[in-house]
A = this chain, B = another copy of it.
Amino acid sequence: MRRHHHRCQIGSDSETGSDSDTDTDTAMRCISCREEYLPRDAGTCKECYVEAGETEEELKREIDDLKAKVAFLRLSSSLDHCNSSNSRSFTDVVLIASEDNAGAPPIPAHKSVLVSRSPVFKAMLENEMEESRSGTIKISDVSYDALRTFVYYLYTAEACLDEQMACDLLVMSEKYQVKHLKSYCERFLVTKLSWDNSLMTYAFAHQHNAKHVLDAALSQITENMEKLTKREEYMELVEKDPRLIVEIYEAYLSNQVNTAAGGTSTSKSG
């Protein structure tokens, strides 16, 4: 926007200004993006810019340090492809996915790792229960692939997720109380949320106590209430678990009341 002002110094470039009558405003050049800008779009002074750069460098160094720490702490497991059958890995327990046919290979593991990662495994293995004596842990309702991915996560904090795997791992992490994994799966499922899968996801989250997913799914649903009763899942849920539907309506009502009262809407899960 042009104003009738006389030209002033431009940035640090010109030390010799001249008092000429022009229509242009003072323009400066941004150190960061190199574009010209006017005083009204000014951001920071040079000192603050330099400081921000140093802060960013410090944070990046901290990230590198932490990544090196993670690389150090992850453990070799029987599932690492580089483990030849010659190298001993000192495993002292096996896990078996009993959903698969009798043919699913047992997964060798270390009791010390299992008890470190899961209070459920800890109780199971430290208290001389059957699994500890036999050296075999049978895991029900899980595929071999899901179990293997779960065990690998316990050793490395890494997992390749798709929606099915995230659901399978969330169930296992809830069952064996592995918070870090559950949190990881929840965050993944929230990114995959859409109106189409929101009812199903909501029911799933409810069943497995996944609050982060549940809240997100509820938000998605209450933003699309006009389409709700036409969904097949809706009618199924009204039959099978009407309390869940009641909670949806409660959240919706709560939003309406809050909005009318001028407050912010908060979806509360029951």
User: Residues on A close to B: CB < 8 A?
Assistant: 3-12, 17, 19, 25-26, 28, 30-33, 35, 37-52, 55-56, 59-60, 62-63, 66-76, 87-92, 110-113, 115-117, 125-126, 156-157, 180, 183
8 Å CB contact of A26 from B33, B39, B75, B157: B39
- Once the chains bind, are B49 and A44 in contact (CB under 8 Å)? yes
Q: Can you list 5 A-B contacts with CB-CB less than 8 angstroms, sorted by A residue number?
A: A28-B39, A42-B46, A44-B49, A68-B180, A87-B126
Q: How many copies of this chain?
A: 2
- Once the chains bind, are A41 and B46 in contact (CB under 8 Å)? yes
- Once the chains bind, are B74 and A73 in contact (CB under 8 Å)? yes
8 Å CB contact of A9 from B26, B35, B60: B26
- Once the chains bind, are A35 and B39 in contact (CB under 8 Å)? no
Say how far A123's CB is from chain B's closest CB, in angstroms.
10
Give the nearest-CB partner of A91 in chain B: B112
- Once the chains bind, are A75 and B5 in contact (CB under 8 Å)? no
A39: chain B residues at CB < 8 Å are 8-12, 26, 28, 39
8 Å CB contact of A62 from B41, B63, B113: B63
Give the nearest-CB partner of A29 in chain B: B42
Give the nearest-CB partner of A48 in chain B: B32
Known contacts: A56-B52, A68-B180. The answer to whether A76 contacts B116 by CB under 8 A is yes
- Once the chains bind, are A43 and B31 in contact (CB under 8 Å)? yes
Known contacts: A67-B66, A112-B90. The answer to whether A44 contacts B32 by CB under 8 A is yes
Cα(A59)–Cα(B60), bound, Å: 7
A72: chain B residues at CB < 8 Å are 117, 157, 180
- Once the chains bind, are A43 and B33 in contact (CB under 8 Å)? no
- Once the chains bind, are A5 and B12 in contact (CB under 8 Å)? no
Say how far A60's CB is from chain B's closest CB, in angstroms.
7
